[in-house]
Amino acid sequence: MAKYIVKRIFGAVITIFIAATITFLLMKFVPGSPFTSEKTNEIAEAALNEKYGLDKPVYVQYGKYLNQLIHGDLGVSYKIQKNVPVVDIIKQSFPVSAKIGGIAILFAVLFGVPIGCVAALKRGKVLDGIIRVVSTTGIAIPGFVLATGSMLLFSIELKWLPTYGLDKPSSYILPVFTLGFYPMCYIARIMRSSMLEALGQDYIRTARAKGMTQFITTFKHAMKNSLIPVITYFGPLVAYTLTGGFVVEKVFNINGLGRYFIKSIENRDYNIIMGTTVFLATLIILMNLVCDILYKVVDPRIKLDQ
């Protein structure tokens, strides 16, 4: 097990390096610079480029960046928060996103899994039909529609919940709901189909023949067998949700990490683009490792070392 994890971490370093390289090159191919705007003149722009080393050839900049990266330094922001280290930006904004994201994931799993199970148990009945319609709709509705729609209904029309910020516990409800609704529906759907498959297996009949109640056969025997597809989806879900949803953070005006993904690209804030990308890549790789270990926990037939 330990050997396996070491091996995976070694592989992760290489993956992060490749991700960083591709992002760096793509970024440099995109025209424009952080300092290009209508107001700046050419002399000022050249001076700024020189100050941050952006006048050097790409390979020199690349080498310099990698060297920084190895030392855990992600550079400073050029534009969005001038001269603030990217590490500090992440440190400050990630916890905000992670908190909402974490609750949203919890919401998605705690509701998605049982809802999927119930749908499978009531296959073909009215309840199953309702769950299927709702979950398919949930997957089809774009995030911004859900965010603005729910805000319109609950905050503006009914005045139950605040429209922005995170100062009260009740202000978490809408962001968490909009962030977690899609994964919840998705989990419910995959849970339903894998559960249906599990419920048709011979070992379910064996469990029933042993005198197990329907509750035990469903939630012990069938559920553990049908979790694998959910775990597969879970890894990337956690990484993306923890780093924040751009739409949700924008609509509800939350100072999380999510907004930086788009803002940094709009502003050609090179170091933030690199910083957020490398951070997300690392998180995804880490979550994939966690998932692979979870597979083993759920299904003893899976061998990690091969």
Which stretches does DSSP call E strand in the chain? Answer: none
Residue 9 or 297 having the CB closest to other proteins: 297
* Of residues 38 and 305, the one with the C-beta less far from other proteins: 305
Using rule CB under 8 A, residue 71 touches other proteins: no
Strand ranges (E), 115-213? none
Can you tell me which of 74, 113, 207, 238 binds other proteins, judged by CB under 8 A?
207
* Structure tokens, 62: 């690349």
299 binds other proteins (CB under 8 A): yes
Decide if residue 291 touches other proteins (CB under 8 A). no
Nearer to other proteins, 92 or 201 (CB): 201
Nearest by Cα to 289 from 3, 9, 2: 9
Inter-axis angle of helices 270-298 and 2-29, nearest 10: 150
Q: Which tokens belong to 47?
A: 């001076």
Where in 1-60 is the site for other proteins (CB under 8 A)?
Answer: none
Closest CB 141 distance from other proteins, rounded Å:
34
Among 57, 72, 169, 211, binds other proteins (CB under 8 A): 211
93: region left, alpha or beta (phi > 0 left; psi from -120 to 50 alpha): alpha
Burial classification of residue 120, based on how many CB atoms lie within 10 Å of its CB (0-12 exposed, 13-18 middle, 19 or more buried): buried
Measured between alpha carbons, how far is 219 from 226 in angstroms, rounded to an integer? 10
* Contact string 173-202 vs other proteins (x = CB under 8 A): ----------------------------xx
Kindly give the residue spans of alpha helices, DSSP state H, lying in the chain: 2-29, 42-51, 58-70, 86-121, 126-140, 143-150, 173-199, 202-209, 214-216, 223-225, 228-242, 246-251, 258-266, 270-298
> What is the token pair recorded at 239?
């990484």
Query: Does 298 sit near other proteins (CB under 8 A)?
Result: yes
Q: Is residue 210 a contact point for other proteins (CB under 8 A)?
A: yes
Q: Residue 140 CB, nearest distance to other proteins (Å)?
A: 30
Of 212 and 280, CB closest to other proteins? 212
Per-residue burial over 170-181, b = 16 or more CB atoms within 10 Å of its CB, e = otherwise: ebbbbbbbbbbb
d(CA 150, CA 174) in angstroms, rounded, equals 7
Please choose, out of 172-180, 220-228, 246-254, 287-295, the segment that lies near other proteins by the rule CB under 8 A: 220-228
What's the closest the beta carbon of residue 111 comes to other proteins, in angstroms? 24
CA atoms within 13 A on the CB side of 233: 21
Cβ proximity to other proteins: between 231 and 265 the closer is: 231
Phi, psi of 200 (to 5 degrees): -85, 0
DSSP code of 226?
T
Q: Which stretch binds other proteins (CB under 8 A): 38-46, 108-116, 219-227, 233-241?
A: 219-227
What's the min distance (Å) between Cβ of 202 and other proteins?
A: 4
**Given the rule CB under 8 A, which of 138-146, 217-225, 244-252, 284-292 is the region that contacts other proteins?**
217-225
Query: DSSP class of residue 163?
Result: S
Determine the interface stretch with other proteins among 38-46, 212-220, 251-259, 286-294 (rule: CB under 8 A).
212-220
CB of 118 to other proteins, least distance (A): 17
CA distance 293 to 83: 40
Task: Examine residue 125 and tell whether it contacts other proteins (CB under 8 A).
Answer: no
Using CB under 8 A, list all residues that contact other proteins.
201-203, 205-214, 216, 221, 224-225, 298-301
